[in-house]
Structure 1
């Protein structure tokens, strides 16, 4: 309550039916952006964001406003997979029509979720092969470096001997 005895906007309570109707407008196929809904419904954007976050926390599928299913975040895709896991083909089709999805999208997302558990194993294999190739390359480079260092040392020794020989016998150019 404010000093005049009225409710502040943040304390305002909306009927559950209105809240559900607004949340439904956020769902596919409508996918209305929160900014648009706020103007249309006369409700503060922060309130709408809170409603969406609360619904998500309850496990409901409420993707980012205005995004197509291809642009949904991983959590939203996973929520759709979980919601449809026990559905038969007819129920899945109805679910998809209701939300503007395709059955193929749900199947792709399900497959991605299943493969996510194998990600560590496949990543480890890939990293091992990369590490092995790197180690092999390092050994080759070290061998090459040793060979070049040896050649450089030999060249330096020859130059020193040449200077000593010139110092002892003099330049061959004096004759």
Structure 2
């Protein structure tokens, strides 16, 4: 494809004769290459968008994880405090 890009119609015909090809084949291959490149650009755009969404989701999950870890640490501290109080004063159940 790169060899034929700068050629004019007469040069392309000569090139095709030398290589045993038809100009229509070259045109078809060029169209396929252009379509593939256009599709690649679309995929790259979608990947950038998906990447941005993924980063946003990761930030949300990290924030939620941090909040839950803080709550868990607080609950653990309260549990330890409760055990210490029970050890000092004994188990006072108001039954």
* Mapping for residues 4-15 of structure 1, pairs under 5 Å: none
Structure 1 position 123 matched with structure 2 position 67: no
CA distance in 2, matches of 1:127, 1:173: 60
CA distance in 1, matches of 2:94, 2:36: 82
Relative to the length of structure 1, the TM-score reads 0.37
CA distance in 2, matches of 1:59, 1:148: 70
* Mapping for residues 31-42 of structure 1, pairs under 5 Å: none
Question: Which 4+ residue blocks in structure 1 deviate beyond 4 angstroms?
Answer: none
After superposition, the Cα gap between the structure-2 partners of 1:123 and 1:59, relative to the gap in structure 1 and judged at 3 Å, is farther
Give the alignment's Cα RMSD to 1 decimal: 2.9
Structure 1, unmatched stretches of 5+, are 1-57, 62-78, 86-105
Structure 2, unmatched stretches of 5+, are 1-18
Relative to the length of structure 2, the TM-score reads 0.63
- Equivalent residue pairs, number: 77
Structure in which a larger fraction of residues adopt helix: 2
